[in-house]
Structure formats: C-alpha cells, structure tokens
Structure 1
C-alpha cells in the first residue's frame, strides 16, 4: 500500500488508539478528535502521560538487555504505533549494529510515517509491513518478513502496549502462543500491558472512554499478564510494574517520585527454552 493510499484510508472521524498514544507522548501525528479523546482520558487519569513514557522506557531497557545479555539480533515488533525516536531498531543497533527489526502494524497512519522506521545502520536491516496481530500466520508466512528475519535463529517478539487492545473474545493467549510457536529456542517475548490493579475505578472509566470511541480494551491483572509468559523462562524481576523492571540509573532517579498506580503497567521479558 502506498503512502497516498494510506492517507486516503485515514479515518479522522473517530479517535484512534495509536494517535492517542502519540498525543500522550507529546507527538504531533494526531488529529483533533484524538486529542479530545486523549484529554478525556487524562482528566480521569492525569498520569497517563507518565504511563506512556514509562512504557517507552521499558521497551528501551528490554531491548538493550536482550541485545547485550542474551545475544538477540532480530526483533519482530507488532503494534508498532506511530514512530517516536529513539525507535526500537535505533536502540537495538546502538548495541549491535547488525540487528534486524521488522515492524508490523495495521494502522494507515503508521504506514504513512513508516519511512522513519527504515533508517537502519549499514550492517543491519529494518522493514515495515502491514499486518494484524489477529492473523499471526499471515504475518509470519509473508514474504516481506522472510527478507529480513531468519526464523531459524532467535527472534525477540515485542508486544508493547498492544495486548490490552485484544479482548478475551479474540483469544489473546492463543495469538501470542501461535506467534511464539513459530520462533526457535532462545527467542524472547517482551511485553507491556495496562492494568487496573492499582486503581480499578479510574481504569474502568478509561475502559469506557476507549470502548465508546470504538476501541474495546481489556486491562488485565498481574496474574493474567503472567499467563502470556507460560512456558517461557521469565527474566528477573518477573512480571513487574514498568519502572521496576531492570531500572537503569535514569529510571531509578525518576522512580523515587513514581507510584505503581501512576505507572499502572505490567511488564516482563521471557526466554523460550
């Protein structure tokens, strides 16, 4: 699909989760309808901007840990969202310049800005493909993915702030299981997921806002998020609140002023045995 075609497919009549997330991160790739919906979420949960930033920071740390400590050189990032620098490939290639990253999303706006995701090192490779987490086989069997990733070698499956947009009726655990089944031993799952565990009433309001905007959500408990890692070897410290997962110096400095309720994000990384 060309960028021109993608632009025609943009629906600006209703808010979109990826564009709302861009608003939370302080980006400019959203529309007034998205800003209004995101502002409504912020009225109910003023820490949503902090939550989005901590989600991004977890992705950076998880990527560095997998590259440095586990030798991962390939990533499949599904639900990429609108590009925000540093992108995953920039983090991975700062550790291993030969790293290869495939980004996948089904949002036309992400496709429109996909060229931002193509600026790889000379040694590595990046690609953006239009795909949906609800159809793992189409994604994994597509010729585009095979041009970049070797599925006979370990791959890190990156699912950041994605699975809470997959309802129970869509079989979220089955979808993740099918993706992991196609990856060899030594592969990894890095996942972050919104939760109502620390402030149920507020997150019920957020659920209503997204649902009324046409985007059903399912924020899960710690135990429910841990189920995504069944059969994997969880890295310490297990399924943890975002800012508590392997904090670096910068995160530790911020964490002094953070509460779990402000972050409201379960995160974890597991290795496939």
Structure 2
C-alpha cells in the first residue's frame, strides 16, 4: 500500500476477502497476505480475477446510467466491501458531486478500513455503515443511512455480486423484497449474480474449489431465479443479461465474457 491511512489494530497479516477483491481490481488497499491468497485462488480458478474486473466494469456502467439517465442521486450499496478502486461514490460524484452514497458491510474491519478511506470533501456525502443485509430493518435504521438518504425520494439499492454468499433462495427473495418495500416508485434496484448456466461443463466445480480457499461461498442461481428478484420492478433495457451485454460503452475485452454473471437494473413501479 502507498499513502493510504490504515486504521490502528487492522490485522494485515491475515488475508481478507475485501482486500483480495481490491487486489484483483489492481487496487492498492491490500497487503502481502491478501495478494498471496489472491494468487493462490487465481491458480485454482484462472478466470476469477478477470471475472471480478468484468463485474466492476458492469458496475461502473450501471452507476453512470443511474446518474446520467435515471437521475438518481442517492445510493445504498449493500455488501460493498472496501469503497475503493472505482466504487460508487467515485463514479457518481464525478458526474454530480451532490450524489449521496452509503456503503454497507457486515465486517467491522472492512467498515473501519473503509471509513479511513473516505476522507476529503466527498466524506460529507459518503458514509460507511456496519450492517448485515440479512437484517434489512437494522440496515435501513442505521444512523448513517437515515442521516444521509431520504427514502421519500428515489434511491438506488445495489446488490452487486453479494447475494451469492447466501444459500437459501427464499431468504434472498425475502431480503430483496424488504429493501424494495422501503423504496418509492421510480427508485432503482441493481442485482448481479453468478449463474452456472453461463459456465462450461465442470467449471463450477473449479469455482467452488477456489471459494473453499476463502471465507465466503459461491451459490449459483438460474436466470429465472434471478429474474424473480425483480418482482415489482420494470427492467430497463436490455433487461437481465450477461453483464458484458449490459449497455457496453465500447468493445468488450474477450476475457470479460468468461464472467458467469447476469446483471440488470429495475425501476420500481
């Protein structure tokens, strides 16, 4: 790392999923233990770091759409990890400095590290909140959320590459539904999730193997299961598609097409 403030007491000798993710994105908020695990997982599943980069590219395009075309100025990013390396506030506030963003993560180390990263002028409109997405009422009632976001106006709720850590399909439908209930019409819902339907035969086993090397699982969903999460929302064009097909703004790197992820954005009716 260079020039970044690290909170006192942060255990940098043990790898952390959020910092491994940052490493795969080419960020600087990671340490030797994170890079070692990231390299090990990449040897087991060579496409994993490329998939992470493809997800981030989709996410950036989606946030730009939400600001430029949908007029959204409030964002709730659930299971965000570290707010670094081209995350929501960097993309949204570059287009409109008045955009407000709350990042939510359940890990206290991530929240402490993330808060340390959110310095400077943007800090007035950006917060890090510790919360578990399995308990929507607690997340929605968190002071960082209630102080910064106005749910009487449209909000974009972002489930970007996070719901796959939950095994129970009915549980994730209930979780998404509870957050959706808090939104006014015109709000947006972003979801991206991995699907084995997009993988060549046998590759899902490799991904499961790499996930066993880290403290988080991967549970795949079918297209129809992901589509049901948008109940009460109208999908914006091009609908629920492979993330590389969602409004590409130029040629898509061939390696990004290996990401086994569907993604889409819905508008609440």
Q: Tell me, yes or no, whether TM beats 0.5.
A: yes
Mapped to 1, the partners of 2:174 and 2:54 lie a distance apart of 27
Change beyond 3 A, Cα 1:105–1:170: farther
TM-score (normalised: structure 2)? 0.87
Instruction: State the SS of the aligned residue for 1:180.
Output: helix
Instruction: State the SS of the aligned residue for 1:113.
Output: helix
Mapped to 1, the partners of 2:75 and 2:246 lie a distance apart of 20
- The structure whose residues are more often helix, as a share, is 1
2:151 aligned with 1:151:
yes
Correspondence for 1:265 among 242, 261, 265: 261
Residues matched between the structures, number? 262
| Greater shift in the superposed pair: 67-76 or 111-120 | 111-120
Mapping of 1:72-83 within 5 angstroms?
Answer: 72-83=72-83
Change beyond 3 A, Cα 1:259–1:54: closer
Mapping of 1:23-62 within 5 angstroms?
Answer: 23-62=23-62
Q: Could you say which residue in structure 2 is the equivalent of 1:239?
A: 240
Q: Could you say which residue in structure 2 is the equivalent of 1:85?
A: 85
Correspondence for 1:4 among 4, 8, 12: 8
Mapped to 1, the partners of 2:93 and 2:33 lie a distance apart of 36
Instruction: State the SS of the aligned residue for 2:217.
Output: coil
Residue pair 1:195, 1:203 contacting (<8 A) in 2 also: no
Mapping of 1:209-228 within 5 angstroms?
Answer: 209-211=210-212, 213-228=214-229
Gaps of 5+ in 1: none
Cα RMSD (Å): 2.5
Residue pair 2:78, 2:105 contacting (<8 A) in 1 also: yes
Change beyond 3 A, Cα 1:203–1:172: same
Mapping of 1:49-128 within 5 angstroms?
Answer: 49-111=49-111, 112-121=113-122, 125-128=125-128
Mapped to 2, the partners of 1:169 and 1:226 lie a distance apart of 12
Instruction: State the SS of the aligned residue for 1:184.
Output: coil
Instruction: State the SS of the aligned residue for 1:72.
Output: coil
